[in-house]
Structure 1
């Protein structure tokens, strides 16, 4: 499921922003981008995300600005030596004015800003505030995902209605009756061997055998049960994506069996429509938690 949330906070000596977004995924994939020095929070944040979501690819960003703590600029001597060596080498090849001091210091990596560390008490307060902020962002994300889930639920219920209508068509299709199968068998015998007399009892036995092989009663009953289960899961809410995914596979299995047993073009057509609608259902199920 998709969603985005952002929360911000501050404590004496620092301010911070937590951003979290999610996109569709069959499992739970967590990606963290934490501010420098905040790696110790990875386990706690992963735990918070695991409690808030069961599926989806979730990216969590944390930025921290220690603006209130002050700091100092420090020359990175190794980077400066590398720059000066490059300038000396280039000056022997290119006739140009030497670079100014402010130009050299403006090069990335030559000057580093080192923030004064917060006191242990302030660091503890900062960590607690960041985790609280992360919880707020995840709560907002959950609300966004639930809103999307409600919209998808409407689509899923509509697809279940379509599946139920197709099951009802198969239920009453005349090709399932023994009388229809017997009439078709008589016609086939007449076309193949018009001059051969076959006893009605024999034809009835063959018709009964064909009707047994083509019986889709169990498949229709199971499809009806799966429809009821899926509706119950959707209306119950919560993290039902995996269970609906399993049901969608069962739907597809029954539709395949129905197609293999179908003894008429019309029934096969209904089975293919079932498979197409079930595929649409499965695609939507991948998008929910």
Structure 2
């Protein structure tokens, strides 16, 4: 690999437009994603986030503009793009009848990989699911299901992964489990593009945040850069009341535990979500 290739963005989007009949969803979208980083595409429902991901993952063709993933043009070389990516949608695509290990083995076999059972065991260990690997997925908590879903998407070691609203419908405890998983992915060199409508999710995870509004990127920068867009509020005295998060964590005492009981999932919690 040349130096130029190494420095090139893992994802490059230039002037992407997309309409559905008379509805213009994307109106000239531009952004770059650096390799090994977490990029959050933040926006309200209907802003065009999922449409953008579908274009980048070759599931949908744009009306105008260009996009490249891992150096491959999504229109000219869709096959090469698909070999370079993995897509995890808004809902976990796991088989409830199978065990966690069987789900992973099945995907590894479908990808014609050698040693599917070794691959499955390695991913179960990597995602802290070894003890639950022999259980049917129907008994998993929401966070465990989502982690298994992401583990399945990593079979074959794709350099780029798309996560479309990965924590939609999850309880607070499950959200933290998924957040930790995403952080680990980027730490191991995977490029992550995630869409979300939750401000705290983008704030916690992303190296860069792009705000998509009415089909265009209205701001793109680091969290620090975005915060500088507003003046600092001067406060001389504030009496801070405890938040629900403070109360909950004080009562529960611990976070980050994974339910591995045979009786199935239990409820726990983490930071409350703030919707965009």
Structure 2 length as normaliser, TM-score?
0.21
- Looking at both structures, which has the greater relative contact order when contacts are Cα pairs under 8 Å and sequence separation is at least 6? 2
Larger Rg computed on CA atoms? 1
Higher helix share: 1
Higher strand share: 2
